[in-house]
Amino acid sequence: MKAIAYTRHGLPIGDPESLVDIDLPMPLPGPRDLLVQVRAVSVNPVDTKVRANAPVTAPRVLGWDAAGTVHAVGSEVTLFKPGDEVFYAGAIDRPGTDSEYHLVDERIAGHRPKTLDAAQAAALPLTSITAWELLFDRLGVPEGSGEGQCLLVVGAAGGVGSMLTQLARQLTKLTVIGTASRPETADWVRSLGAHHVIDHGRPLGGGLEAIGRPQVDLVASLTHTDSHFAQIVGALRPQGRLALIDDPAALDARALKSKSLSLHWESMFTRPVFKTPDMVRQHELLERVAALVDAGTLRTTANEHFGTINAANLRRAHALVESHRSRGKAVLAGF
């Protein structure tokens, strides 16, 4: 089967050897696995970070988002059958989705939204799971609650921010404040439902003052947390909550003490990697996301289509993600 991999880490994405086309044998499903014929994929920052930083001794296939058709199922599968259309993000400790066929545990896959094509659906899984877990599990916001409280989303135009903004606006009563640094990204964040947009290229405190919200109750910091950390602490109300998904080089949590602020880290790979007892929650929340999309409550965040799934097109998509200038998600479809 066709696949795209990297064989040496750390190569700049402009190097033709940074991602290469390869052939691999067809994988065989384990007891709880789906063997999926991949129709479309999307690119996330984790793809670029692994390619840059994780050494390999054999070709490694990247990709943690896919939409496709179930080709075969393992002996213990109960949630799906061959022919089902699915979408999912996979697990970071297994081969990635940039291949014609791919194995995924049924407990972290969902039925694809009926109103989306494969590319539109492939944009959603990783960011939907991350945003959902961050908002409802890490920050502990119950659905339908949050009236009178403010959520600040730092980096709201990216993939996770685009989903988090929608979830917070549609499923809670929080006032949602997104950050974006360019007119086109600010317009994108407003279109997703943010009540206010401020520029994270300027001091956050000044932006919050300008919209009459000098302090916030919750912060989701999705990018460049180390650059914004002091400003975030200053903007949070006493006993507020901060959740992040990125990997700051250093973070002095002592700054949180005087306000009794709580710190929460979100990684959507935790459940599949550690096979937690509640691993099936990711299946359940993807089913919920699909229903919300089909009801018109949520929309796809697919924004740029890079063509068929091959090394050259994936290199272009990786370059966009690395530029930190993308809106929503970059997708590819077909082999």
pLDDT for the residue numbered 133: 98
pLDDT for the residue numbered 307: 98
pLDDT for the residue numbered 298: 98
Strands 66-73 and 33-43: antiparallel
In which residue are the tokens 């006493």 written?
A: 238
Whether the CB-CB separation of 244 and 222 falls below 8 Å is answered with yes
Torsion sign (Cα): 110, 112, 118, 123? negative
How far apart, in whole angstroms, are the C-alpha atoms of residue 154 and residue 152?
6
Domains and CATH numbers, the chain: 2-124+270-333 (3.90.180.10), 128-265 (3.40.50.720)
Classify 307 in phi/psi space as left (phi over 0), alpha (psi -120 to 50) or beta. Answer: left
Please state the pTM of the whole predicted model. Answer: 0.96
pLDDT tens, N- to C-terminus, the chain (335 residues): 999 999 999 999 999 999 999 999 999 999 999 999 999 999 999 999 999 999 999 999 999 999 999 999 999 999 999 999 999 999 999 999 999 999 999 999 999 999 999 999 999 999 999 999 999 999 999 999 999 999 999 999 999 999 999 999 999 999 999 999 999 999 999 999 999 999 999 999 999 999 999 999 999 999 999 999 999 999 999 999 999 999 999 899 999 999 999 999 999 999 999 999 999 999 999 999 999 999 999 999 999 999 999 999 999 999 999 998 888 999 999 99
In which residue are the tokens 């061959």 written?
A: 82
- Contacts by 318-321, CB closer than 8 A, 24 or more apart: 318/13, 318/18, 318/19, 318/43, 318/47, 318/48, 318/51, 319/13, 319/14, 320/43, 321/43, 321/44, 321/45, 321/47, 321/48
pLDDT for the residue numbered 176: 98
